[in-house]
Structure 1
Amino acid sequence: MPNAPQCQGGPLEDAARHAAKMAKIKAARDRMMETKEGEKGLIIVHTGAGKGKSSSGFGMILRCIAHGMPCAVVQFIKGAWDTGERRLLTTHFAELCQFHAMGEGFTWETQDKDRDIAAARAGWEKAKELILDPEVRMVLLDEINIALRYDYLDVAEVVAVLRDKPPMTHVVLTGRNAKPELIEMADLVTEMTLVKHPFRGGIKAQPGVEF
């Protein structure tokens, strides 16, 4: 007579196995966390063709505000837009977050290279002032990667300022096609991958999602 099939463990045995597995994972994580003691101001780059680069940056700005940390935003491209984040930050959190909308729109909208360069330079001068102020704990440079991509700004100058920033200041740089020099020096780099986007299906940009 063939052997009877072995019975699977019941709920109690499954729960015990799960608890033992999670205990091992926790012990490993605790050992790893014991080696992470330092803090520093980070250079953070959000790039890639997918949506969410600016959204993530503004999420961190809101975290800073929640912790009472002075912060600032410099917008290099979308400054002409009436965005939800701009309304929220300037209306409710101006005492903690400076907001400087320096851009005039994407380059195909202005159709004036000299004007775009002048706007980018003005934005960068304000950005430098904020980055080098030790009282400002985080600076979001929204869409600066686009200004760098078109060589409206000198990436070597941007890198030099980032290297000289106060030690506890975080700087977030967003936009597609981040320069290799920024990726090399950054502490955290995230590339947003485009899988699907409603624009390709004929859906225009909408409040609360894109702006």
Structure 2
Amino acid sequence: MPIPFFIFIISQNRPPTVITSPAAGLAGRAVPGIIEKKRRCGAEKEKRMNKLSEGKVQVYTGNGKGKTTAALGLMLRAAGAGMDIYFGQFMKTGDTSEAEALRRFLGHAVTMEQYGSGGELFGPDRERDTACARAGYEKARAALVSGRYDLVVLDEILVAEHLGLLAVEDLLRLMDERPEHTELVLTGRWAAEQVMQRADLVTEMGEVKHYFHAGVPARTGIEM
């Protein structure tokens, strides 16, 4: 089933914010004002008390709108509880509205990085896109296993796996290596059966009706 255009339009029309230049190429863009602050206070974070005594694995999937939106809502709630959050976006790049909101309002709580090449859907290049996804995966895994974060959200990682840029074993490894106190959220269409079986919570968002089919494009502040 084709991916609706509005979901990934940011990869085509929004300019990327490049802060780092890893060897893999286009992966690992950090949102200014968020990750820099995290680096400054890294030593203090190693000493903090864990906010969760037991974390879970959540999966948001399905062909309906709202998976990333739900994850952002959870991040808002977690920030309100004083949690430290890592937000990694696969398949996406650009200065989106959510990136701006996190920078302006949750910069004290959120480390955000984007791993998309900008062309996975509109100008795919297998070698480039796989390199970006792999480099992003390693960054996300390092953040997860570090134990620094109470909540780790990996947006669209399920799509990256479905397209073959990552293997299902990569996702299962994240679930196996997740620290006990960390909540892990995986989003995107086409969640693999093995991932859903292993998760503690699976929400499938189904499309009943969508204005996209009436020709309404992605709108800033609503879809991007």
- On whether the aligned pair clears a TM of 0.5, the verdict is yes
Indicate the SS of the match to 1:121. Answer: helix
Residue identity opposite 1:57 in structure 2 = A
Equivalent residue for 1:167?
A: 180
Deviations 1:122-173 (A, max 9, x none): 1101110111121200111000011000111121132123112110101111
Q: Secondary structure of 1:110's partner?
A: coil
Written as runs of structure 1 = structure 2, the 5 A alignment for 1:14-93 is 40-79=54-93, 81-93=94-106
Asked if 1:177 is matched to 2:190, the reply is yes
Seen in structure 2, the aligned counterparts of structure 1 residues 198 and 106 have a Cα distance that, compared at 3 Å, is farther
AA aligned opposite 2:188: G
Q: CA deviation at 1:39?
A: 5.4
The answer to whether the Cα contact below 8 Å between 2:119 and 2:125 also exists between their aligned partners in 1 is no
State the number of aligned residues: 173
Q: Which runs of 5+ in 2 are unaligned?
A: 1-51
CA distance in 2, matches of 1:183, 1:194: 19
Structure 1, unaligned stretches of length 5 or more?
Answer: 1-37
Over 4 Å off, 4+ runs: none
Aligned-pair Cα RMSD in Å: 1.5
User: TM-score scaled to structure 1, two decimals?
Assistant: 0.78
Secondary structure in 1 matching 2:121: helix
Question: Deviations for 1:75-128, whole angstroms, at most 9, x for unmatched residues?
Answer: 00112x321111111233223100001112352223211111111111101110
Q: Which TM-score applies when normalising by structure 2? A: 0.74
Q: Who wins on radius of gyration, i.e. which is larger? A: 1
| Counterparts of 1:71 and 1:94, CA distance in 2 | 10
2: CA distance between counterparts of 1:157 and 1:197? Answer: 32
Q: What residue is the counterpart of 2:18 in the other structure?
A: none
Confirm or deny: 8 A CA contact 2:86 2:110 kept in the other structure. Answer: yes
Tell me what 2:114 maps to. Answer: 101
Distance in 2, matches of 1:106 and 1:173, equals 21
The structure in which a higher percent of residues are helix is: 1
Aligned residues with identical type, % of pairs: 37
Residues 1:139 and 2:129 are matched in the alignment: no
